[in-house]
Amino acid sequence: MIERRIMRMTSGAMCGAGVLLAAAVAVRAQQTKPAAQPQPLVPVAASSLAESPDAYLGQNVSVVGAVEHSLSPTAFSIDQDRTRLTGREVLVLAPRLNAPVELNAYVTVLGEVVRFEPAAIAGRMAIDLPPDVAEKYRGRPAILATVVLNAAFVDLARQPLPPLTPDEAAYDAVMKRVGTSFSTLRQAVGGSDGKAVEVQAAVLEQAFTETAAFWKGRGKADAMQWAGEGRTHAGAIAGAAARGDWDAVKASTASLGQACQSCHGSYRDRLDDGTYRIKAAGW
């Protein structure tokens, strides 16, 4: 009964952020081992992992457990039972923790299961455990964490993003304006609201003018072309809406969306937190 309850708890936690976890694991696995395919996640109870580690060695697991000990700024242990010490704790080593873990609070940990041997792990991850603590866990199961989610589903192990440069911030503002306006435009097209379509088309024309100037300054002819196409399609949408030609409005709206997607495919990266940045090649 306890094991079934634990697994239901694990499944529930995974359902709440399944897409986020899978995306984070896939992205980080590709970053560290470009040629390897990420392994599927194996949900396991912390108690099961502590008792039978050999069954999970080398596997990527998802474990829900309560923080039992905070051992260093990047290491802690988890146990299944947060009400008492069971001796069945599992060591968790993270490359970074952006905030301290909270004792007795449940976390969801994703990562690879290994036997803790400091010499073997040191080549893969920095270990900042005191010598006596390292000796205590030697030979016991450990998780080399790629994701550590707290109760609010904040990934404490996520690489902090550098702040936007002034150019990035300016371009980001334009792209957000485009995204909001295009979404509003599509709704207006669906409702055959000619006035609203004309208003949003004008907003998009100006935004794509700014977009073309941005890419011109970086010598990206293809991006300039897509921005120019977007501006042209926005003008065509406004004209067709004024005439009441809704077939033409819909055709130009679809073409505008295709121009945006072409540029996104070449110059936009989606980051772990779901936000977007310009690819390095764009600079």
Strand (E) positions, 124-248?
A: 141-149
CATH number of the domain where residue 56 is located: 2.40.50.140
- The CATH number given to whatever domain includes residue 207 is 1.20.120.10
Residues 31 and 117 in one domain: yes
Tell me how far apart the alpha carbons of residues 168 and 174 are, in angstroms, rounded to a whole number. 10
104: left (phi over 0), alpha (psi -120 to 50) or beta: left
In a domain, 100, yes or no: yes
Q: Are 97 and 155 in contact (CB under 8 A)?
A: no
Q: Are 138 and 178 within one domain?
A: no
End-to-end CA distance of the chain: 57
In a domain, 161, yes or no: no
Position 221 in a domain: yes
What angle do helix axes 18-32 and 2-16 make, rounded to 10 degrees?
A: 80
Residues 132 and 11 in one domain: yes
Which residues 6+ apart lie within 8 Å of 247 measured at CB?
Answer: none
Same domain assignment for residues 67 and 203: no
Asked if 152 and 164 touch (Cβ cutoff 8 Å), the reply is no
d(CA 211, CA 181): 14
Question: Does 117 lie in the same domain as 26?
Answer: yes
Output the pTM of the full model.
0.56
- Cβ burial of 219 (10 Å; 0-12, 13-18, 19+) is exposed
Domain's final residue, options 95, 118, 149: 149
Q: Which domain covers residue 185, as residue numbers? A: 166-282
Neighbours of 209 (CB within 10 A): 16
Specify the number of domains making up the chain. Answer: 2
> pLDDT tens for residues 177-202?
999 999 999 999 999 999 999 999 99
* pLDDT per residue of the chain (283 residues) written in tens, 0 to 9: 444 444 444 444 444 444 344 444 444 444 444 445 567 899 999 999 999 999 999 999 999 999 999 999 999 999 988 777 777 899 999 999 999 999 999 999 999 999 999 999 988 888 889 999 999 999 999 999 999 999 888 899 987 777 888 888 999 999 999 999 999 999 999 999 999 999 999 999 999 999 999 999 999 999 999 999 999 999 999 999 999 999 999 999 999 999 999 999 999 988 766 778 888 765 5
**Whose CA is closest to 81, among 64, 102, 65?**
65
Indicate whether 11 and 143 sit together in one domain: yes
**Distance of alpha carbon 29 from alpha carbon 59, whole angstroms:** 13
Q: Are residues 12 and 122 in the same domain?
A: yes
